[in-house]
C-alpha cells in the first residue's frame, strides 16, 4: 500500500528546472511590418536555474520566494498555465511554487524559462504524450524566448524565435554573470534600436564554428546587436562591459536585451572566482556558473 501511495503522489507533482540562457551571439536582422524583429541568435543554456514545483490542487495558486514577482495575467507562468489548459482541454488546477535564482529584467530568459518549465511540467502531469516540438510551437505565443528553452539545449534561433536548429556539439565552460541594479525594458531596447548603425555579428559563422568544434572561432565571431541601444538607456552596462574586458576575459558581451553582462574565456575558474568576489561588493547580482549540458 505504501508503495502504491508513493507512486500516486509522484504522479500528482513534478519538479522542473528552469535554466537561464545567454545569447552567445545575437543579430537583429530587420524589423517586420507587424513590429517584431527578425533575429538570428546562438542560445546557450546555463547551469543557473529557477526551481519550479507543480502539483495538482483544487484551485489555482502560486507562491514565490521573490516578493517582486506578481502573478497577474501578464506573468509568463500564468500565461503558460492558461495556454496549456486551453490547448489540451486540461481541467486540472495546480499549485505552482517558484524558487527564483535568475534575476528579472536581466536578458537571461528567466521569465521565458519559467514558462517553458511550467509547460513541460503540466504536459507530464496531464498524462498525455506531448512532443517538445508541439510545446515549442505553442510557446512562441507567450514570448520569443520560450520555444528555445523548452529543451534546455544549445540552439540556433531564427525568425522571431520560432526557427530552431538544435546543435549537437557541446562545450563545457565557466561563465561569469554580472548585472547592475537597473534593468532594461525589452520593448524600450527594441524601440531605441537603430538597425542601420548597430553591429550585425555573423551568427551563421558562429554556428558553423560551433558545429566544427572550434570554440575559439565561435568567440571570434560573437556579438550583440542590442548592446548599443541598451548602453544608451543604462550607461552602467557599458561601463561594466569595459571593466570585465579590462580584467582579461577573452569575450565579454551583454545577453539578450540586458542588463546582464557575461564574461567567458581567457582565465581559469580560480581567477574568475576571485574577480566575482570583488564584484559582489559593488553589484547586486554576480554569479559564477557554467554552460549546461543535459544528461
- Please give the tally of structural domains in the chain: 2
Looking at the fold, whether 98 and 146 belong to one and the same domain comes out as: yes
CA distances from 192 to 35, 40, 229, 231 (A): 13, 19, 6, 10
Catalytic residue among 79, 100, 145, 241, which? 145
Looking at the fold, whether 60 and 187 belong to one and the same domain comes out as: no
Question: Which CATH number is 86's domain given?
Answer: 3.30.230.10
The backbone torsions φ and ψ at residue 212, rounded to the nearest 5 degrees and listed phi first, read -85, 0
What pLDDT was estimated at residue 46? 98
Looking at the fold, whether 94 and 180 belong to one and the same domain comes out as: no
Whether residue 18 lies inside any domain: the answer is yes
- pLDDT (tens place) for every residue of the chain, 295 residues total: 444 434 444 458 999 999 999 999 999 999 998 888 999 999 999 999 999 999 999 999 999 999 989 999 999 999 999 999 999 999 999 999 999 999 988 999 999 999 999 999 999 999 888 999 999 999 999 998 999 999 999 999 999 888 999 999 999 999 999 999 998 888 999 999 999 999 999 999 999 999 999 999 999 999 999 999 999 999 999 999 999 999 999 999 999 998 999 999 999 999 999 999 999 999 999 999 999 988 7
Annotated catalytic, 145? Answer: yes
Q: Which three cell numbers mark 25?
A: 551571439
Looking at the fold, whether 6 and 113 belong to one and the same domain comes out as: yes
* Domain end marker among 106, 139, 166: 166
Contacts with 136 (C-beta within 8 Å, 6 or more apart), sequence order: 146, 147, 148, 150, 151, 162, 164
Q: 93-99 and 61-64: which strand pairing?
A: parallel
Its domain, for residue 285, covers: 174-290
Residue 212, by phi and psi: left (phi above 0), alpha (psi -120 to 50) or beta? alpha
Q: Is 29 exposed, middle or buried (0-12, 13-18, 19+ CB in 10 A)?
A: middle
Catalytic residue among 21, 79, 100, 179, which? 21
- Cβ atoms of 65 and 37 within 8 Å: the answer is no
What pLDDT was estimated at residue 34? 87
What pLDDT was estimated at residue 258? 86
What whole-number distance in Å separates Cα of residue 33 and Cα of residue 17? 36
Looking at the fold, whether 61 and 131 belong to one and the same domain comes out as: yes
What whole-number distance in Å separates Cα of residue 81 and Cα of residue 122? 8
* Domain end marker among 149, 166, 183: 166
Looking at the fold, whether 96 and 158 belong to one and the same domain comes out as: yes
Euclidean distance between the first and the last CA atom of the chain, given in angstroms as a whole number: 33
The backbone torsions φ and ψ at residue 273, rounded to the nearest 5 degrees and listed phi first, read -65, -40
Whether residue 212 lies inside any domain: the answer is yes
Strands (E), 100-216: 155-159, 163-166, 174-179
Whether residue 295 lies inside any domain: the answer is no
CA 104 to chain centre: 11
What whole-number distance in Å separates Cα of residue 57 and Cα of residue 95? 6
CA distances from 275 to 107, 139, 237, 243 (A): 21, 37, 17, 11
What pLDDT was estimated at residue 6? 40
Contacts with 31 (C-beta within 8 Å, 6 or more apart), sequence order: 37, 38, 195
The CB-side HSE value for 61 (13 A sphere, CA atoms) comes to 7
Looking at the fold, whether 89 and 186 belong to one and the same domain comes out as: no
What pLDDT was estimated at residue 141? 94
Q: In the block, which residue shows the cell 554556428?
A: 207
What pLDDT was estimated at residue 284? 95
* Domain end marker among 132, 166, 200: 166
Does the pTM exceed 0.75? yes
Whether residue 22 lies inside any domain: the answer is yes
What pLDDT was estimated at residue 11? 53
Looking at the fold, whether 71 and 190 belong to one and the same domain comes out as: no
Looking at the fold, whether 66 and 133 belong to one and the same domain comes out as: yes
What whole-number distance in Å separates Cα of residue 217 and Cα of residue 25? 12
Looking at the fold, whether 152 and 222 belong to one and the same domain comes out as: no
Whether residue 49 lies inside any domain: the answer is yes
Looking at the fold, whether 161 and 279 belong to one and the same domain comes out as: no
Question: Which CATH number is 243's domain given?
Answer: 3.30.70.890
Starting at the edge strand that comes first in sequence, how are the strands of the sheet with 285-290 ordered?
A: 251-254, 261-264, 174-179, 285-290
Residue 6, by phi and psi: left (phi above 0), alpha (psi -120 to 50) or beta? alpha
Looking at the fold, whether 93 and 121 belong to one and the same domain comes out as: yes
Amino acid at each position: 500500500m505504501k508503495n502504491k501511495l508513493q507512486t500516486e503522489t509522484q504522479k500528482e507533482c513534478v519538479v522542473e528546472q528552469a535554466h537561464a540562457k545567454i545569447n552567445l551571439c545575437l543579430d537583429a536582422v530587420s524589423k517586420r511590418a507587424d513590429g517584431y524583429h527578425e533575429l538570428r541568435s546562438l542560445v546557450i543554456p546555463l547551469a543557473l536555474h529557477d526551481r519550479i514545483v507543480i502539483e495538482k490542487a483544487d484551485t489555482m495558486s502560486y507562491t514565490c520566494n521573490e516578493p517582486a514577482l506578481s502573478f497577474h495575467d501578464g506573468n509568463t507562468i500564468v500565461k503558460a498555465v492558461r495556454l496549456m489548459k486551453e490547448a489540451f482541454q486540461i481541467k486540472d488546477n495546480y499549485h505552482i511554487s517558484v524558487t527564483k535564482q535568475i534575476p528579472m529584467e536581466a536578458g537571461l530568459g528567466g521569465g521565458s524559462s519559467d514558462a517553458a518549465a511550467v509547460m513541460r511540467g503540466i504536459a507530464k502531469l496531464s498524462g498525455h504524450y506531448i512532443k517538445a516540438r508541439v510545446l515549442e510551437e505553442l510557446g512562441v505565443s507567450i514570448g520569443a524566448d520560450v520555444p528555445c528553452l523548452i529543451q534546455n539545449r544549445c540552439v540556433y534561433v531564427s525568425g522571431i524565435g520560432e526557427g530552431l536548429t538544435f546543435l549537437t556539439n557541446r562545450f563545457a565552460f565557466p561563465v561569469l554573470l554580472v548585472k547592475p541594479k537597473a534593468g532594461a525594458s525589452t520593448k524600450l531596447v527594441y524601440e531605441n534600436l537603430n538597425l542601420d548603425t548597430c553591429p550585425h555579428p555573423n551568427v551563421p559563422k558562429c554556428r558553423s564554428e560551433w558545429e566544427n568544434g572550434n570554440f575559439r572561432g565561435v568567440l571570434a565571431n560573437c556579438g550583440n546587436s542590442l548592446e548599443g541601444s541598451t548602453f544608451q538607456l543604462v550607461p552602467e552596462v557599458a561601463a561594466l562591459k569595459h571593466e570585465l574586458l579590462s580584467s582579461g576575459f577573452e569575450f565579454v558581451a551583454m545577453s539578450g536585451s540586458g542588463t546582464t553582462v557575461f564574461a567567458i574565456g581567457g582565465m581559469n575558474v580560480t581567477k574568475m572566482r576571485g574577480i566575482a568576489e570583488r564584484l559582489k561588493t559593488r553589484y547586486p547580482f554576480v554569479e559564477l556558473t557554467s554552460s549546461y549540458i543535459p544528461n
